[in-house]
Structure 1
Amino acid sequence: MFERNISTPAAVAIIVSFLIVSIIGPLTLNREDVENWDNLGYWRLNPIGVPPEWYGELAGLPRTEWLQGERQAGEFVFTYDFHYSSAPSDIIFIPNSTGVMRIKIIGPDGREYVLWDGYVFGEIHFSKNPSVFVRIAEEKCNVTPEGGNLLFHDAFNIIFSKPTEDCLDHPEFLKGRYLIVVEGPEKEPKIRVLGKSYGLLGTDTVGRDVWTGFIWGMRETITIAILGSLATVGLALILGTLSVLSSWVGRIADFISRLVTVTPVLPVAVSAVVLAAAIDENYVIKASPLAIALIVGVLMMGNVSRNVRSMVEEELRKEYVESAKALGGSSLWILRKHVSRVLVPYAIYQFALAVPGTIAFITLLGFFNIVPGFNWGTIMSQTIREGATYRLAWWQVVPVGVSIGLLALSFVSLSRKIEEEFLKR
């Protein structure tokens, strides 16, 4: 039944696709976005907690965009094509000079309203200036809303609606081309419309680009998963094989293997990560990805090492081994020359199982506020710390969840295929 859901070629294609994206994807991103991921002031020009643009197109939500401007008779004119079923959340004016400026917006019906008339010395977020909306509501709709009430409404409904009395709560949007005219600046300013959708995967609760975090985190997630799985399988092979020896080396290897097998993975892993990590000023535990991979590898090798020991013991009872011993072959030579051939397929099988488990584990660390570098665990950790509502901000958790699911299905499918081939032998 399982193989009908995902075939081996499909599993390989999915894994290869993730590997390619994890290598090439980060090269397509803006490096400044990654370097300033925790710099909240850097993301001030993004809307907060909005869905992707493709979803916004379906729901009629305005996208976030920079407006194109041109100089006309000493003024700078910016054009905004409004064709949505919802008003934007903010308009940000970014001057490249200071001085007295007059900013007005002209609707498709020719009506114009002043957004600013005075001295400008820095960025202007019009959503933080309720007096503008009160005045425009008086001019357009003949109503005087209380400034405090505008904080709980879409104040820009007033600007982008037809001149009706209920233009704040139940607006009839006036669609078409809006002009934002800036008088007085010496240099060309910039204007950014903060819509209610953004990019390929939206933004999180502080305005960060989720797509940037998802793609950049993919590379480190897969790297940790591969290194951790290699550590799991490699250590299990070494301990499981050496534990069959009757010397003191074998007794130590057997003791370590048994100890790790009965060790509770999650609490010990969390404790080990805390000891190997540093805690920043926000009480976030930050650990080295290599340290995480090694810790995961050590703690997840127990059962695998015991299985390896059983396989080696069974192989050593066979007649060809007795013949090799009779000819003077040492135990280490027999293990390396003959038994290792039996262990290779099993090691590949266990590696395929360990990769999705490692990915899930480092993601689980996010629930303990542990940030193992910049990966999917980081994204999940920040989602939890910043209180995102999963049902509403689905774009913050669904991409990571679906990706982990696809990788898990793919690796498990491959492991079953390897297991089938192994049993045939």
Structure 2
Amino acid sequence: MRWSDFVESLKDFWFEYKRQKIGMLGLAILLFFIGLAIVGPRFYPAEMSRKWRDVTYWQNYPRSARPSWINYFSSHKMPPHLIIAEYEVSERMIGANIREYVATFNYDHEYDEPPSDLILTFRRQVADPTKPPTMTFVLLRPDGREIELISKKLSEAGNQTRIVITSDRGALSTAYAFGREFETPENLEKVHFELTNPALPLFSKAQPGILLGNEAEPLKGTYTIRVTFYFQNPEDKIEDLTLIIGGRVYGLLGTDENRRDLFAGLIWGTRVSLLIGILTSVLSVFFGIFYGVMSAYLGGWKDEILQRIYEIMSSIPTLPILILLSAIYKPSIWWIIFFLVVFGWMGTSRMARSMAYQIKEMDYVEAARAVGASGFWIVRKHVMPQILPYAFASMALSVPSAILTEAGLSFLGLGDINRVTWGQILHDAQSTAATIKGMWWWVLPPGLAMALLGLSFAFIGAALNTILFPKLKTL
């Protein structure tokens, strides 16, 4: 076939395909996921995928935060996640040896709920470990009240320091004591110290109900956070000081209970699903066609042996075997693809054998054989060109099965733990009862993504069937 003829055939095919509305819808959905898989990693680096199971990597993200866009559809505004690295600095000497270093942060709070966390991170350089610096953390509210939440020596080992203010025992006691000043005895009976959210009294109006989540009225305005360090050596210093205001909303799809960005997981799961679905379908379909054509063309006792092998493979329950193999061997994405191909070629093989049997009995095939054409030439020139159109439609229709099978293995905890997949996200959601807790943003996106991606290939396959097998148009 000349190149010009090939181009013309492609144009004719595209003209027919554009008339299939269901096929165009499937192609649009598929292109969306391909674009997501290509463009997404530019904003969500591969490190996020590699460290999906590393809790320390995500520790500065908010926990169980909703998607940011819900604030546009609700009158009840929730605070976003903020990382504040800009602050005012002042220094002075106290006596001959003590140096005071003060960092002042400003935070504008105009929301109906308090932040989920207050986290302070910094790197310190101390010349003499026996003389660690002392730190205080003071919150100045818009109503003028000043609360010292932390005052302690930084005696922990290591230069990198991360202090979760809202989880500190001393800060909890201080916040609870501040709230008690304004609570009624009746409300105090409803409050338990251990269950108090320290951020609630800090960011609520000083009035009865300050310790009750359903009654506390938010105190809006500008909060000033003053972090003071007292150094005993002139060489001591603080670097990379950052204040993290834990949000109730974050990103496009929020975060899970392990603080992981779910949109990053969805993007990298898209790449894995496309790889598994397309590669598995291509390999299984081509192997099935090769096996079916070879069985039909050889015929006789060879065909009988090949068909008995086919029947044995068809009788094996695929999913239980995959579960068993994944439990025995350490699963990886390549092993999963290999097993899916091994147990996924039989349907294509049966159809290819049936079509090859019909074609080999045609008069033009008999004529080619009579003039001395080799079996390979006959298969290449007469058999394969008529089977390949079916192959492309079969590839599109077999992709959803591969995607869902891998997702099922990951959902059962038997997938590749080194790669984030949609099934893994659902597995983690199920293991922490996300549905019962109302964390719909953890469950719906990966489920819808699997359904839409599978549906796109089903639509494309249906359109290809209609184009390549015109008789289907009348069915």
User: Are 1:73 and 2:73 counterparts?
Assistant: no
Where 2:86 maps in the other structure, the secondary structure is strand
> Which residue of structure 2 aligns with residue 175 of structure 1?
220
Q: Aligned-pair distance for 1:105?
A: 1.1
Give the deviation of 1:4 after TM superposition: 11
Are the counterparts in 1 of residues 176 and 196 from structure 2 also a CA contact under 8 Å? no
Tell me how far 1:349 sits from its aligned partner.
0.4
One-letter amino acid of the structure 2 residue matched with residue 117 of structure 1: S
SS in 2 for 1:80: strand
2:177 pairs with 1:135: yes
Partner of 1:282: none
User: Displacement of 1:242 after TM fit?
Assistant: 1.1
Matched AA of 1:309: R
Question: 2: CA distance between counterparts of 1:160 and 1:117?
Answer: 20
- Identify the range of structure 1 (338-347 vs 195-204) with the bigger mean alpha-carbon deviation: 195-204
Listed one character per residue, the Cα deviations across residues 153-194 of structure 1 (whole Å, up to 9, x for unaligned) are 433120111110211111111111111011235425321111
Could you say which residue in structure 2 is the equivalent of 1:85?
112
Pair 1:94 & 2:121 matched: yes
Relative to structure 1, the CA distance from residue 353 to residue 391 in structure 2 (aligned partners, 3 Å threshold; closer, same or farther) is farther
The superposition leaves residues 89-131 of structure 1 with CA deviations (integer Å, 9 ceiling, x where unpaired) of: 2211224335222221112222221112232344322222221
Residues 5 and 403 of structure 1: is their aligned pair in 2 closer, same or farther, counting only changes over 3 Å?
farther
Shift of 1:80: 1.1
Amino acid at match of 1:162: K
Runs of 5+ unmatched residues, structure 2: 1-17, 92-101, 125-131, 156-160, 231-236
Report the equivalent of 1:42: 57
Query: Could you tell me which residue of structure 2 aligns to residue 281 of structure 1?
Result: none
* CA–CA separation in structure 2 for the residues paired with 1:363 and 1:315: 39
In the other structure, the counterpart of 1:306 is 350
Distance 1:322 1:396, change over 3 A: same
Matches within 5 A, 1:264-413: 264-275=317-328, 277-278=329-330, 287-372=331-416, 373-374=418-419, 375-389=421-435, 392-413=438-459
Deviates more, 1:52-61 or 1:228-237: 52-61
Deviations 1:335-387 (A, max 9, x none): 22101111111000000001111111110112321123512233233333444
Alpha carbons 1:87, 1:154 under 8 Å: kept: no
Q: Which moved more, 1:181-190 or 1:359-368?
A: 181-190
CA-atom RMSD in angstroms: 2.7
Q: What is residue 158 of structure 1 aligned with on the other side?
A: 201
What is the aligned partner in structure 1 of residue 468 from structure 2?
422
Displacement of 1:309 in angstroms is 0.9
Aligned counterparts of 1:163 and 1:218: Cα–Cα separation in 2: 48
Describe the shift of the 1:332–1:252 C-alpha distance in structure 2 as closer, same or farther (beyond 3 A).
farther
Following TM superposition, by how much is the alpha carbon of 1:334 offset from its aligned partner in structure 2, in angstroms? 1.9
**What amino acid does structure 2 have at the position aligned with 1:359?**
I
| Percent of aligned positions that are identical | 29
Where does residue 229 of structure 1 map in the other structure? 281
TM (norm. structure 1) is: 0.89
C-alpha distance in 1, partners of 2:19/2:432? 40
Greater Rg by CA? 2
How many angstroms apart in 2 are the aligned matches of 1:416 and 1:146? 65
C-alpha contact 1:56 1:63 (8 A) present in aligned 2: no
- Return the alpha-carbon distance in structure 2 between the equivalents of residues 6 and 200 of structure 1: 30
2:314 aligns to what?
261
Mapped to 2, the partners of 1:52 and 1:397 lie a distance apart of: 13
How many residue pairs match? The answer is 414
Structure 1 residues without counterparts, runs of 5 or longer: 279-286
Answer yes or no: is the 8 Å Cα contact 1:101–1:116 preserved in 2.
yes
**Aligned-partner Cα distance in 2 for 1:198–1:325:** 69
For the 8 Å contact 2:88–2:105, the answer to whether it is kept is: no
**In the TM superposition, what is the alpha-carbon distance from 1:148 to its structure 2 partner?**
8.2
**Offset of 1:86 from its aligned partner?**
0.9
The DSSP-based 3-state class of the residue aligned with 2:253 is coil
Distance 2:303 2:63 in 1: 58
TM-score, normalised to structure 2, is: 0.80
